[in-house]
A = this chain, B = another copy of it.
Amino acid sequence: MAPSVMESMQAFWSTHFMLPSQSHVHASAVGEAVDGARENVSMLLGCDPFEVVFTSGGTEANNLGVLGAAMISHAGSDPSDLIPSYPCNCDVPPPHALISEIEDESVVAAAKHLRLLGWRVDWVPCDTQGFVSVEAFASRFEPTTRLACLQLANPVVGTIQPIRELTDRCHSRGIRVHCDATAAVGRIPVDVHELRVDTLSLTAHKFYGPKGCGALYVRRGLDMHPISFGEPREMGLRAGSENVPGIVGFGAAASLTARCVEEAQGTLEELCERLVEGLSATLDGRIRVFAEHAERLPNTVAIELTTEAKRVQKAARQIVAAAAQSESPPDEITRVLRAIGCTDRQIGRTLRFSVGWTTSREQIDRAVDLIAEACEHASRS
Protein backbone atom coordinates (compact mmCIF):
# COMPACT_ATOMS: atom_id res chain seq x y z
CA MET A 1 0.00 0.00 0.00
CA ALA A 2 1.34 3.44 -0.85
CA PRO A 3 2.38 5.51 2.19
CA SER A 4 0.16 8.38 1.03
CA VAL A 5 -2.80 5.99 0.93
CA MET A 6 -2.12 4.77 4.45
CA GLU A 7 -1.87 8.38 5.62
CA SER A 8 -5.17 9.33 3.99
CA MET A 9 -6.92 6.60 5.98
CA GLN A 10 -5.55 7.40 9.45
CA ALA A 11 -8.10 9.97 10.63
CA PHE A 12 -10.96 7.70 9.59
CA TRP A 13 -9.89 4.97 11.99
CA SER A 14 -10.18 7.28 14.97
CA THR A 15 -11.31 10.94 14.85
CA HIS A 16 -13.79 10.39 12.02
CA PHE A 17 -15.01 6.95 13.00
CA MET A 18 -18.61 7.56 11.95
CA LEU A 19 -20.86 6.55 9.10
CA PRO A 20 -22.00 8.95 6.38
CA SER A 21 -25.62 7.96 6.99
CA GLN A 22 -25.64 8.99 10.65
CA SER A 23 -27.88 11.85 11.63
CA HIS A 24 -25.58 14.03 13.73
CA VAL A 25 -23.48 16.88 12.40
CA HIS A 26 -20.12 15.14 12.79
CA ALA A 27 -21.08 12.58 10.18
CA SER A 28 -21.02 15.12 7.38
CA ALA A 29 -17.19 15.20 7.25
CA VAL A 30 -17.28 11.45 6.70
CA GLY A 31 -19.90 11.79 3.99
CA GLU A 32 -17.75 14.36 2.23
CA ALA A 33 -14.70 12.09 2.39
CA VAL A 34 -16.67 9.21 0.85
CA ASP A 35 -17.98 11.55 -1.87
CA GLY A 36 -14.42 12.70 -2.55
CA ALA A 37 -13.20 9.11 -2.87
CA ARG A 38 -16.05 8.31 -5.26
CA GLU A 39 -15.05 11.29 -7.37
CA ASN A 40 -11.42 10.15 -7.44
CA VAL A 41 -12.42 6.70 -8.64
CA SER A 42 -14.77 8.17 -11.24
CA MET A 43 -11.95 10.36 -12.56
CA LEU A 44 -9.68 7.34 -12.84
CA LEU A 45 -12.30 5.51 -14.94
CA GLY A 46 -13.70 8.51 -16.85
CA CYS A 47 -17.25 8.14 -15.54
CA ASP A 48 -19.66 10.02 -13.27
CA PRO A 49 -19.30 9.60 -9.48
CA PHE A 50 -22.80 8.09 -9.14
CA GLU A 51 -21.75 5.34 -11.56
CA VAL A 52 -19.24 4.04 -8.95
CA VAL A 53 -20.52 1.42 -6.49
CA PHE A 54 -18.08 0.60 -3.69
CA THR A 55 -17.90 -3.08 -2.71
CA SER A 56 -15.88 -5.24 -0.32
CA GLY A 57 -13.48 -6.23 -3.11
CA GLY A 58 -13.10 -7.50 -6.64
CA THR A 59 -15.04 -10.70 -5.98
CA GLU A 60 -18.14 -8.87 -4.80
CA ALA A 61 -17.80 -6.43 -7.73
CA ASN A 62 -17.62 -9.32 -10.23
CA ASN A 63 -20.49 -11.16 -8.50
CA LEU A 64 -22.59 -8.00 -8.74
CA GLY A 65 -21.59 -7.39 -12.36
CA VAL A 66 -22.71 -10.89 -13.35
CA LEU A 67 -25.63 -11.60 -11.00
CA GLY A 68 -26.91 -8.01 -10.85
CA ALA A 69 -28.00 -8.54 -14.45
CA ALA A 70 -30.04 -11.52 -13.47
CA MET A 71 -31.28 -11.63 -9.91
CA ILE A 72 -34.97 -12.12 -9.66
CA SER A 73 -36.53 -9.22 -7.83
CA HIS A 74 -39.72 -8.42 -6.06
CA ALA A 75 -41.76 -5.42 -7.04
CA GLY A 76 -43.28 -4.78 -3.63
CA SER A 77 -43.95 -6.14 -0.20
CA ASP A 78 -46.79 -8.39 -1.30
CA PRO A 79 -45.72 -11.97 -2.11
CA SER A 80 -47.94 -11.85 -5.20
CA ASP A 81 -45.60 -9.19 -6.59
CA LEU A 82 -42.82 -11.73 -6.96
CA ILE A 83 -41.28 -12.01 -10.36
CA PRO A 84 -40.95 -15.75 -10.85
CA SER A 85 -37.50 -17.08 -11.53
CA TYR A 86 -37.04 -18.34 -15.06
CA PRO A 87 -37.16 -22.07 -14.41
CA CYS A 88 -40.73 -21.61 -13.16
CA ASN A 89 -41.97 -19.70 -16.11
CA CYS A 90 -41.80 -22.12 -18.97
CA ASP A 91 -43.36 -19.70 -21.47
CA VAL A 92 -40.26 -17.50 -21.40
CA PRO A 93 -37.12 -18.89 -23.07
CA PRO A 94 -34.21 -18.89 -20.62
CA PRO A 95 -31.80 -15.99 -20.99
CA HIS A 96 -28.33 -16.85 -22.23
CA ALA A 97 -24.90 -15.71 -21.08
CA LEU A 98 -21.50 -15.98 -22.77
CA ILE A 99 -18.49 -16.13 -20.47
CA SER A 100 -14.87 -16.32 -21.55
CA GLU A 101 -13.25 -19.48 -20.24
CA ILE A 102 -10.31 -17.65 -18.70
CA GLU A 103 -12.30 -15.37 -16.44
CA ASP A 104 -11.51 -15.05 -12.76
CA GLU A 105 -13.22 -17.64 -10.57
CA SER A 106 -15.46 -14.89 -9.14
CA VAL A 107 -16.94 -14.48 -12.64
CA VAL A 108 -16.97 -18.21 -13.45
CA ALA A 109 -18.66 -19.20 -10.17
CA ALA A 110 -21.18 -16.36 -10.45
CA ALA A 111 -21.97 -17.52 -13.98
CA LYS A 112 -22.52 -21.06 -12.71
CA HIS A 113 -24.92 -19.58 -10.17
CA LEU A 114 -26.76 -17.87 -13.05
CA ARG A 115 -27.84 -21.33 -14.16
CA LEU A 116 -29.62 -21.80 -10.86
CA LEU A 117 -31.63 -18.73 -11.76
CA GLY A 118 -32.64 -20.43 -14.99
CA TRP A 119 -30.03 -19.03 -17.34
CA ARG A 120 -28.11 -20.98 -19.94
CA VAL A 121 -24.36 -20.35 -19.91
CA ASP A 122 -21.83 -21.01 -22.66
CA TRP A 123 -18.07 -20.71 -22.28
CA VAL A 124 -16.03 -18.88 -24.92
CA PRO A 125 -12.56 -20.32 -25.58
CA CYS A 126 -9.26 -18.43 -25.97
CA ASP A 127 -6.35 -19.00 -28.33
CA THR A 128 -2.82 -20.09 -27.36
CA GLN A 129 -1.95 -16.48 -26.49
CA GLY A 130 -4.80 -16.28 -23.97
CA PHE A 131 -6.66 -14.01 -26.38
CA VAL A 132 -10.45 -14.27 -26.65
CA SER A 133 -11.54 -13.07 -30.06
CA VAL A 134 -14.73 -11.17 -30.73
CA GLU A 135 -15.53 -13.82 -33.34
CA ALA A 136 -15.42 -16.51 -30.66
CA PHE A 137 -18.17 -14.58 -28.88
CA ALA A 138 -20.13 -13.61 -31.99
CA SER A 139 -20.28 -17.16 -33.31
CA ARG A 140 -22.11 -18.08 -30.09
CA PHE A 141 -24.64 -15.26 -30.07
CA GLU A 142 -28.24 -16.42 -29.79
CA PRO A 143 -31.47 -14.44 -29.88
CA THR A 144 -31.72 -14.89 -26.09
CA THR A 145 -28.13 -13.83 -25.30
CA ARG A 146 -28.30 -11.11 -22.65
CA LEU A 147 -24.85 -10.98 -21.07
CA ALA A 148 -21.23 -11.31 -22.21
CA CYS A 149 -18.29 -11.38 -19.79
CA LEU A 150 -14.72 -10.69 -20.78
CA GLN A 151 -11.83 -9.52 -18.65
CA LEU A 152 -9.86 -6.46 -19.73
CA ALA A 153 -6.55 -8.26 -19.14
CA ASN A 154 -5.67 -11.73 -18.00
CA PRO A 155 -3.96 -11.72 -14.59
CA VAL A 156 -1.87 -14.83 -15.31
CA VAL A 157 -0.40 -14.30 -18.78
CA GLY A 158 -1.22 -10.58 -19.12
CA THR A 159 -3.08 -10.70 -22.45
CA ILE A 160 -5.18 -7.60 -23.13
CA GLN A 161 -8.61 -8.43 -24.57
CA PRO A 162 -10.60 -6.70 -27.35
CA ILE A 163 -13.26 -5.15 -25.10
CA ARG A 164 -14.24 -2.20 -27.30
CA GLU A 165 -14.87 -4.41 -30.32
CA LEU A 166 -16.86 -6.78 -28.15
CA THR A 167 -19.06 -4.04 -26.71
CA ASP A 168 -19.77 -2.69 -30.21
CA ARG A 169 -20.90 -6.11 -31.39
CA CYS A 170 -22.86 -6.86 -28.22
CA HIS A 171 -24.70 -3.57 -27.94
CA SER A 172 -26.04 -3.80 -31.46
CA ARG A 173 -27.80 -6.96 -30.28
CA GLY A 174 -28.90 -5.65 -26.88
CA ILE A 175 -26.34 -7.76 -24.99
CA ARG A 176 -24.78 -6.19 -21.92
CA VAL A 177 -21.04 -6.54 -21.30
CA HIS A 178 -19.43 -7.05 -17.91
CA CYS A 179 -15.69 -6.48 -17.87
CA ASP A 180 -13.43 -7.65 -15.04
CA ALA A 181 -10.69 -5.00 -15.00
CA THR A 182 -9.15 -6.00 -11.66
CA ALA A 183 -5.87 -7.04 -13.28
CA ALA A 184 -5.75 -4.01 -15.60
CA VAL A 185 -6.55 -0.94 -13.48
CA GLY A 186 -3.32 0.59 -12.23
CA ARG A 187 -1.25 -1.06 -14.96
CA ILE A 188 -2.83 0.46 -18.08
CA PRO A 189 -5.18 3.45 -18.51
CA VAL A 190 -8.82 2.33 -18.32
CA ASP A 191 -11.58 4.55 -19.68
CA VAL A 192 -15.08 3.12 -19.45
CA HIS A 193 -16.46 5.44 -22.14
CA GLU A 194 -13.80 4.34 -24.57
CA LEU A 195 -14.47 0.70 -23.71
CA ARG A 196 -18.27 1.27 -23.68
CA VAL A 197 -18.75 -1.47 -21.12
CA ASP A 198 -21.93 -1.72 -19.05
CA THR A 199 -20.24 -2.81 -15.84
CA LEU A 200 -16.54 -2.94 -14.94
CA SER A 201 -14.92 -4.21 -11.75
CA LEU A 202 -11.76 -3.08 -10.02
CA THR A 203 -10.06 -3.73 -6.69
CA ALA A 204 -7.96 -1.26 -4.70
CA HIS A 205 -5.24 -3.61 -3.47
CA LYS A 206 -4.02 -4.14 -7.04
CA PHE A 207 -2.91 -0.49 -7.30
CA TYR A 208 -1.45 0.40 -3.90
CA GLY A 209 -4.80 0.78 -2.18
CA PRO A 210 -6.14 -1.16 0.82
CA LYS A 211 -7.34 -4.74 0.86
CA GLY A 212 -11.06 -5.32 1.37
CA CYS A 213 -12.14 -2.57 -1.07
CA GLY A 214 -13.44 -2.90 -4.60
CA ALA A 215 -15.81 -1.08 -6.88
CA LEU A 216 -18.13 -1.74 -9.77
CA TYR A 217 -18.68 0.82 -12.47
CA VAL A 218 -22.37 0.63 -13.41
CA ARG A 219 -23.35 2.54 -16.53
CA ARG A 220 -26.01 5.15 -15.85
CA GLY A 221 -29.50 3.77 -16.44
CA LEU A 222 -28.47 0.11 -16.52
CA ASP A 223 -31.05 -2.25 -15.00
CA MET A 224 -29.37 -3.79 -11.97
CA HIS A 225 -30.45 -5.77 -8.92
CA PRO A 226 -28.50 -5.74 -5.66
CA ILE A 227 -27.02 -9.00 -4.40
CA SER A 228 -26.74 -7.88 -0.77
CA PHE A 229 -29.71 -6.98 1.37
CA GLY A 230 -30.25 -4.33 4.02
CA GLU A 231 -30.49 -0.54 4.28
CA PRO A 232 -29.81 0.48 0.68
CA ARG A 233 -26.44 2.18 0.19
CA GLU A 234 -24.33 2.84 -2.92
CA MET A 235 -27.10 3.95 -5.27
CA GLY A 236 -29.29 1.17 -3.93
CA LEU A 237 -26.96 -1.51 -5.25
CA ARG A 238 -25.36 -2.54 -1.96
CA ALA A 239 -26.26 -2.84 1.72
CA GLY A 240 -24.02 -2.53 4.74
CA SER A 241 -22.16 0.16 6.65
CA GLU A 242 -19.53 1.78 4.47
CA ASN A 243 -15.92 0.73 5.09
CA VAL A 244 -15.04 4.42 5.35
CA PRO A 245 -11.26 4.17 5.89
CA GLY A 246 -11.03 1.64 3.06
CA ILE A 247 -13.08 3.81 0.71
CA VAL A 248 -10.97 6.87 1.53
CA GLY A 249 -7.79 4.86 0.89
CA PHE A 250 -9.28 3.55 -2.36
CA GLY A 251 -9.90 7.16 -3.41
CA ALA A 252 -6.32 8.15 -2.60
CA ALA A 253 -4.96 5.16 -4.55
CA ALA A 254 -7.20 6.01 -7.52
CA SER A 255 -5.96 9.57 -7.55
CA LEU A 256 -2.32 8.41 -7.32
CA THR A 257 -2.90 5.94 -10.15
CA ALA A 258 -4.62 8.47 -12.39
CA ARG A 259 -1.52 10.67 -12.09
CA CYS A 260 1.10 7.94 -12.53
CA VAL A 261 -0.25 5.08 -14.62
CA GLU A 262 0.78 6.26 -18.06
CA GLU A 263 4.26 7.28 -17.04
CA ALA A 264 4.85 4.07 -15.09
CA GLN A 265 3.89 1.82 -18.01
CA GLY A 266 7.22 2.21 -19.82
CA THR A 267 9.24 1.51 -16.69
CA LEU A 268 7.24 -1.60 -15.86
CA GLU A 269 7.62 -2.92 -19.39
CA GLU A 270 11.35 -2.36 -19.30
CA LEU A 271 11.65 -4.23 -16.00
CA CYS A 272 9.68 -7.21 -17.34
CA GLU A 273 11.82 -7.29 -20.47
CA ARG A 274 14.97 -7.15 -18.36
CA LEU A 275 13.72 -10.15 -16.36
CA VAL A 276 12.91 -12.15 -19.48
CA GLU A 277 16.19 -11.28 -21.22
CA GLY A 278 18.22 -11.96 -18.09
CA LEU A 279 16.64 -15.37 -17.55
CA SER A 280 16.85 -16.25 -21.22
CA ALA A 281 20.55 -15.40 -21.31
CA THR A 282 21.51 -17.28 -18.14
CA LEU A 283 19.35 -20.29 -18.96
CA ASP A 284 20.52 -20.54 -22.59
CA GLY A 285 17.17 -19.53 -24.04
CA ARG A 286 15.45 -22.53 -22.50
CA ILE A 287 12.64 -20.49 -20.99
CA ARG A 288 9.23 -19.78 -22.50
CA VAL A 289 7.27 -16.57 -22.09
CA PHE A 290 3.53 -17.10 -22.26
CA ALA A 291 1.42 -14.95 -24.57
CA GLU A 292 4.69 -13.61 -25.94
CA HIS A 293 3.08 -12.32 -29.11
CA ALA A 294 -0.03 -10.82 -27.53
CA GLU A 295 -0.56 -7.24 -26.43
CA ARG A 296 0.12 -7.63 -22.71
CA LEU A 297 0.01 -5.84 -19.37
CA PRO A 298 3.30 -4.03 -18.77
CA ASN A 299 3.81 -5.53 -15.29
CA THR A 300 2.89 -9.19 -15.68
CA VAL A 301 4.87 -12.01 -17.22
CA ALA A 302 4.38 -15.76 -16.89
CA ILE A 303 7.52 -17.78 -17.62
CA GLU A 304 8.06 -21.51 -17.99
CA LEU A 305 11.40 -22.33 -16.36
CA THR A 306 13.67 -25.34 -16.74
CA THR A 307 12.59 -26.91 -13.46
CA GLU A 308 9.67 -27.18 -11.04
CA ALA A 309 8.41 -23.74 -9.99
CA LYS A 310 7.91 -25.01 -6.43
CA ARG A 311 11.60 -25.94 -6.24
CA VAL A 312 12.57 -22.48 -7.41
CA GLN A 313 10.31 -20.92 -4.79
CA LYS A 314 11.92 -23.07 -2.13
CA ALA A 315 15.50 -22.42 -3.23
CA ALA A 316 15.05 -18.69 -3.84
CA ARG A 317 13.00 -17.55 -0.89
CA GLN A 318 13.55 -13.85 -1.59
CA ILE A 319 11.52 -14.21 -4.79
CA VAL A 320 7.83 -13.46 -4.44
CA ALA A 321 6.18 -14.97 -7.52
CA ALA A 322 3.14 -17.14 -8.02
CA ALA A 323 3.22 -20.82 -8.94
CA ALA A 324 0.26 -23.03 -9.72
CA GLN A 325 -1.11 -24.84 -6.68
CA SER A 326 -1.11 -28.52 -7.34
CA GLU A 327 -4.12 -29.32 -5.16
CA SER A 328 -7.52 -29.85 -6.70
CA PRO A 329 -9.67 -27.92 -7.62
CA PRO A 330 -7.41 -26.24 -10.18
CA ASP A 331 -6.36 -22.72 -9.22
CA GLU A 332 -6.38 -19.73 -11.52
CA ILE A 333 -2.88 -20.25 -12.91
CA THR A 334 -3.65 -23.87 -13.73
CA ARG A 335 -7.01 -23.04 -15.30
CA VAL A 336 -5.61 -20.30 -17.53
CA LEU A 337 -2.53 -22.24 -18.63
CA ARG A 338 -4.66 -25.30 -19.39
CA ALA A 339 -7.02 -23.15 -21.45
CA ILE A 340 -4.13 -21.95 -23.61
CA GLY A 341 -3.03 -25.54 -24.15
CA CYS A 342 -0.24 -26.19 -21.60
CA THR A 343 0.60 -29.62 -20.26
CA ASP A 344 0.68 -30.27 -16.51
CA ARG A 345 4.47 -30.44 -16.72
CA GLN A 346 4.61 -26.98 -18.28
CA ILE A 347 2.18 -25.62 -15.69
CA GLY A 348 4.29 -27.03 -12.86
CA ARG A 349 7.35 -25.23 -14.25
CA THR A 350 5.70 -21.84 -14.58
CA LEU A 351 6.13 -18.80 -12.37
CA ARG A 352 4.00 -15.69 -12.81
CA PHE A 353 5.97 -12.54 -12.01
CA SER A 354 4.72 -9.05 -11.49
CA VAL A 355 6.74 -5.89 -11.05
CA GLY A 356 5.63 -2.67 -9.41
CA TRP A 357 6.41 1.01 -9.12
CA THR A 358 9.02 0.35 -6.45
CA THR A 359 10.80 -2.53 -8.20
CA SER A 360 14.37 -1.66 -9.15
CA ARG A 361 16.66 -2.94 -11.93
CA GLU A 362 18.96 -4.26 -9.21
CA GLN A 363 16.14 -6.34 -7.81
CA ILE A 364 15.44 -7.76 -11.27
CA ASP A 365 19.10 -8.65 -11.76
CA ARG A 366 19.22 -10.28 -8.34
CA ALA A 367 16.06 -12.22 -9.14
CA VAL A 368 17.58 -13.45 -12.40
CA ASP A 369 20.67 -14.69 -10.53
CA LEU A 370 18.65 -16.42 -7.83
CA ILE A 371 16.27 -18.11 -10.25
CA ALA A 372 19.03 -19.20 -12.62
CA GLU A 373 20.98 -20.60 -9.66
CA ALA A 374 17.93 -22.49 -8.39
CA CYS A 375 17.25 -23.90 -11.88
CA GLU A 376 20.83 -25.03 -12.40
CA HIS A 377 21.07 -26.51 -8.95
CA ALA A 378 17.92 -28.48 -9.70
CA SER A 379 19.25 -29.74 -13.04
CA ARG A 380 22.41 -31.04 -11.33
CA SER A 381 20.58 -32.76 -8.46
Question: Which A residues contact B (CB, under 8 angstroms)?
Answer: 1, 6, 13-14, 17-18, 22-26, 56-60, 62-63, 67, 72-74, 77, 79, 82-85, 87-88, 104-106, 109-110, 112-113, 115-116, 120, 203, 205, 210-213, 227-231, 239-246, 310, 313-314, 317, 319-325, 331-332
A246 neighbours in B (Cβ, 8 Å): 211-212, 246
Say how far A77's CB is from chain B's closest CB, in angstroms: 7
Docked pose: A88 CA to B72 CA in angstroms: 14
A230 neighbours in B (Cβ, 8 Å): 59, 62-63, 104-106, 109-110
A-B pairs with beta carbons under 8 Å apart, 29 shown: A6-B13, A17-B205, A18-B320, A24-B323, A25-B317, A56-B240, A57-B241, A59-B228, A59-B239, A59-B240, A60-B228, A63-B230, A67-B229, A73-B116, A74-B116, A79-B115, A79-B120, A83-B116, A104-B230, A106-B240, A109-B230, A109-B239, A112-B229, A205-B241, A211-B243, A211-B245, A212-B245, A231-B331, A231-B332
Whether A231 pairs with B105 at a CB distance below 8 angstroms is yes
| Residue picked from A116, A230, A313, A323, most chain B C-beta under 10 Å | A230
Copies of this chain present: 2
Docked pose: A244 CA to B67 CA in angstroms: 26
A116 neighbours in B (Cβ, 8 Å): 72-74, 82-83, 85
**Other-chain residue from B112, B212, B322 in contact with A23 (beta carbon distance below 8 A):** B322
**Other-chain residue from B1, B115, B211, B319 in contact with A242 (beta carbon distance below 8 A):** B211
Whether A245 pairs with B14 at a CB distance below 8 angstroms is no
Whether B60 pairs with A211 at a CB distance below 8 angstroms is no
Given contacts A1-B13, A87-B88, 9 further A-B contacts (CB under 8 A): A24-B313, A24-B320, A26-B317, A58-B241, A63-B230, A74-B113, A85-B87, A105-B239, A211-B241
A320 neighbours in B (Cβ, 8 Å): 18, 24, 26
Whether A239 pairs with B106 at a CB distance below 8 angstroms is yes
Docked pose: A244 CA to B109 CA in angstroms: 23
